[in-house]
Structure 1
Amino acid sequence: MTMRNELNKLVEQAAPEKREAFKIEMDNFYSLFTRYLAEKSKRVKLNWDQVKSPRPEHIIPLKTLPQHTIEDSSSALSKLAVLKLNGGLGTSMGCVGPKSAIEVRDGMTFLDLTVRQIEYLNSVAKGANVPLILMNSFNTDEDTARVIQKYKGHGLQILTFNQSRFPRIIKESLTPVPSSPEEKGDSWYPPGHGDLFEALGNSGLVDQLLARGKEYLFVSNVDNLGATVDPTILQHVIDSGAEFVMEVTDKTRADVKGGTLIDYEGKVRLLEIAQVPSEYVDDFKSVKKFKIFNTNSLWVSLKAIKRLLDEDAFNMEIIVNPKTTDNGVKVVQLETAVGAAIKHFQGAHGINVPRNRFLPVKSTSDLFLITSDLYKLNHGELVFNPKRVFNTVPLVKLGDHFKKVANFLSRFSNPPHILELDHLTVTGDVTFGNDVTLSGTVIIVANHGSRIDIPSGTILHDKVVSGNLRILDH
């Protein structure tokens, strides 16, 4: 009862006007915590013998569906709302504030591009009025509220709500880290995007959207620049009656850790690497057994969300995330993944989409590709350059000198031309001049204490450049 007592103390300390909402959050957390304890005591493990590749009916190739355009989809689009998962910070790329506010292309941020896409959608599909919903975390809420002020005159409805704020758990005592609801620092955490359904229900937005005639939600990560509204998928969701459709795409070597759809005891399920017993991790990473992975772009029925919330039926697999606080205390975070909800919905399945619908920007290596001539910008949407012979993206690995966005930008006079690039590795103190062309496999290594300057106009094809090269223009 210790955890329950500690949570009750926190609730009692909450400001009167916030107490009811805070109590609901703590009740949801306690439900997750008790499930965690029960599974821990039973040592519940996945039965690997029951884990099978998904059946053909579980994965439908997008290319086999009847094609639809924005122009002929006004009726379908009028039933849609777009939700972006906007809880992440830009700290891993050396930025302050919400990741969605990082400039990624032509001076525009993730959010700018998203707004431009939906404005275009609404202008072409007359009467659709697709709203944009942002699920923020307590880390991004205030900054996002300021950022979206600039869209006020755009005629696009932007709605926001916060995902839950859960207390971290002290690993040794299994008690909450925070001693008060207002405690700052690293005492609290947003519990993963699997919290979406409960947080959406608590915000009142499910009822609000249904009352406005919205029936479907397109959910995706705000940093996935390929996750645009596809009328073909939306029409398939409507025609098939599926309550949940997950976009998946073919694995490459870079994606072996990504969550995948499986057939488990005859049902379609999402399997994350964190759930896999250590002795089967290599099997999980196998491209032969599990050919696809989850892009975290989902099409979900709002009526089904409402039903499952009313039945208190959401019961996603718990991901235990161990952490150490700034003052050295070992803690755990209990999280869930939104894709794991697939098992609760009727007719749920995956759609195998081309790779251009999965363009996440997790690092400056991804940013390098997004800003390059591999893509053109069309109404806020990145379109693959048809001049590239291969329909694949080059493998790019930029070293620590490029890790932060500011450092990355300072090392390129402008983005190199990479239409014929297969592989690029750059490590050490390296800078690039204007109009550099990279093709084939290019490896540039500046040794410790050395520097390499690639001058303007350089063409590097299947080259290894190393050592200490201050190449000067003549």
Structure 2
Amino acid sequence: MSLAQQISALPAPLLKRLHDRGFEAPRLARWAATLGVERDARNRLPGRVEPPAPDDIAAAPVEGTAEHGRHRERGLAALSAGEVALCVLAGGMATRMGSVVKALVEALPGRTFLDLRLGENAHLEALASRPGAHVPLWLMTSEATERPIRDALGPRLDGARCATFEQNVSLRLTPEGALFLDEQGEPSVYATGHGDLPDALRRSGLLARFLERGGKTVWIANLDNLGATVDPAILGWHLDHGDPLTVEVVDKVGADRGGGPVRWNGKRIITEEFRLPHGFDPGAVPVFNTNTFLVSAAALDALAMEWTYVEVEKKIGDRKAIQFERLLGEITAALEPRLLRVPREGLASRFLPVKDVPELERRRPEIEAIARARGLLG
């Protein structure tokens, strides 16, 4: 039976579930046809790739300077005008924390990651001087995290000030290109990555309603990076420079690895390290991407691009499965970014990722200090 026939034979409720979340059977068939042939060609950037130029990376405004004060006032004005939405990537399961929903893990005693993001949202609304101004909080969830997060939010989930929307899904394949079936003989559904955000956000209707109300900027950050709070001075810097996209980067330290900025055929982009051409030295890139983006809402709504879905091999039980994912940083191929180097140390740190329990335990003092300093604890 061909892959197309396998998909057509799936139960109608499953097909509806898939298509409601962006699944396209012809696209999966095209991917299946390249298995074992083009993985490296698909995953790596073609053409000329060079390190970023020295003047490609700007420094964040320093608190206490006139520049910082000027940008902060611009950012506060945008918050007060209701022109900013905070979009948090909350689709992940904390596989290294017991495979629970990461949003509901206690980042601090008695306070989950979700609690702290809600605290940030309340603090931002307090900063806005105009009565009634609010900063919408949008959480991009996955099928696995949507219901638990909605249950945790309860009545706060009003669709206006607080809302969730689900990312896309697809079906895993065997290395031979057939549907991968789990131990129960069912197709294996997975989320296709945080690059789903532009499509999923448009599908939700949240972006269109935000634009209708005069919304201008969407601030995107990882749930588990509690350093990446909305900073009025950085917001003002982004607005004052007038480009559709700003990406926060931090200096590499020691053996740091990760995606970062390069020049691709002369153009600034963000890319993952595994997408660099053979022979390119990642050490030539002095900073890496924090996955914090400030993007024009209008540009995000109008974004039209051909996404690269990278091929990834996964171990499901004792078997190999293939899935195709896209990465949010690739929006820089369509919207050339400004790159802003931000601090990663002390109370000014904007990079506090938490991937497992030991890292969370180690970072808790930093997280608590920053949460108190930035109003996340209410």
Give TM-score, length-normalised by structure 1: 0.68
Q: Report the counterpart of residue 163 of structure 2 in structure 1.
A: 159
CA contact (8 A) 1:323 1:331 kept: yes
Deviations 1:138-166 (A, max 9, x none): 1111111111117469x982110100121
Q: Report the counterpart of residue 61 of structure 1 in structure 2.
A: 59
Distance 1:234 1:35, change over 3 A: farther
Aligned pairs for 1:334-373 (under 5 A) are 334-345=324-335, 347-355=336-344, 356-372=349-365
Between the aligned partners of 2:185 and 2:231, the Cα distance in structure 1 is 41
Equivalent in 145, 170, 176 of residue 174 of structure 2? 170
Distance 1:251 1:42, change over 3 A: closer
Distance 1:35 1:239, change over 3 A: farther
Cα distance, 1:107 vs structure 2: 1.9
User: How many residues end up aligned between the 2 structures?
Assistant: 361
Q: Report the counterpart of residue 291 of structure 1 in structure 2.
A: 286
Cα distance, 1:224 vs structure 2: 0.3
Between the aligned partners of 2:73 and 2:238, the Cα distance in structure 1 is 18
Distance 1:184 1:295, change over 3 A: farther
Deviations 1:393-417 (A, max 9, x none): xxxxxxxxxxxxxxxxxxxxxxxxx
CA contact (8 A) 1:116 1:380 kept: no
Equivalent in 99, 106, 126 of residue 103 of structure 1? 106
Cα distance, 1:4 vs structure 2: 3.7
Greater alpha carbon shift after TM alignment, 361-370 vs 331-340: 361-370
CA contact (8 A) 1:375 1:382 kept: no
1:234 partner SS: helix
Between the aligned partners of 1:319 and 1:41, the Cα distance in structure 2 is 10
Cα distance, 1:21 vs structure 2: 7.0
Q: Match for 2:325: what amino acid?
A: E
Q: Report the counterpart of residue 213 of structure 2 in structure 1.
A: 212
Find out whether 1:273 has 2:276 as its counterpart: no
Find out whether 1:34 has 2:30 as its counterpart: yes
Distance 1:276 1:70, change over 3 A: closer
Cα distance, 1:226 vs structure 2: 0.2
CA contact (8 A) 1:178 1:188 kept: no
**Aligned-CA RMSD value:** 3.2
Between the aligned partners of 2:366 and 2:313, the Cα distance in structure 1 is 40
Equivalent in 356, 361, 372 of residue 378 of structure 1? 372
The structure with the largest alpha-carbon Rg is 1
Distance 1:80 1:374, change over 3 A: closer
Between the aligned partners of 1:251 and 1:87, the Cα distance in structure 2 is 26
Q: Match for 1:275: what amino acid?
A: R
Report which structure shows greater RCO (CA 8 Å, sep ≥6). Answer: 2
Between the aligned partners of 1:350 and 1:373, the Cα distance in structure 2 is 25
Distance 1:4 1:232, change over 3 A: farther
Unaligned runs of 5+ in 1: 384-474
Between the aligned partners of 2:157 and 2:321, the Cα distance in structure 1 is 41
Distance 1:184 1:258, change over 3 A: farther
Distance 1:58 1:382, change over 3 A: farther
Deviations 1:449-469 (A, max 9, x none): xxxxxxxxxxxxxxxxxxxxx
Find out whether 1:240 has 2:237 as its counterpart: no
1:117 partner SS: helix
Cα distance, 1:373 vs structure 2: 6.7
Between the aligned partners of 1:250 and 1:31, the Cα distance in structure 2 is 38
CA contact (8 A) 1:133 1:160 kept: yes
Cα distance, 1:381 vs structure 2: 5.2
CA contact (8 A) 1:70 1:124 kept: no
Between the aligned partners of 2:202 and 2:61, the Cα distance in structure 1 is 34
Q: Report the counterpart of residue 143 of structure 1 in structure 2.
A: 148
Cα distance, 1:338 vs structure 2: 0.3
Between the aligned partners of 2:297 and 2:262, the Cα distance in structure 1 is 24
More helix by share: 2
Deviations 1:414-468 (A, max 9, x none): xxxxxxxxxxxxxxxxxxxxxxxxxxxxxxxxxxxxxxxxxxxxxxxxxxxxxxx
Between the aligned partners of 1:31 and 1:115, the Cα distance in structure 2 is 37
CA contact (8 A) 1:70 1:125 kept: no
CA contact (8 A) 1:59 1:351 kept: yes
Between the aligned partners of 1:132 and 1:232, the Cα distance in structure 2 is 19
1:135 partner SS: strand
CA contact (8 A) 2:21 2:169 kept: no
Q: Report the counterpart of residue 22 of structure 2 in structure 1.
A: 25
1:197 partner SS: helix
Cα distance, 1:363 vs structure 2: 1.8
Unaligned runs of 5+ in 2: none
Q: Match for 1:50: what amino acid?
A: R
Between the aligned partners of 2:168 and 2:46, the Cα distance in structure 1 is 32
Q: Report percent identity of matched pairs.
A: 30
Cα distance, 1:365 vs structure 2: 2.9
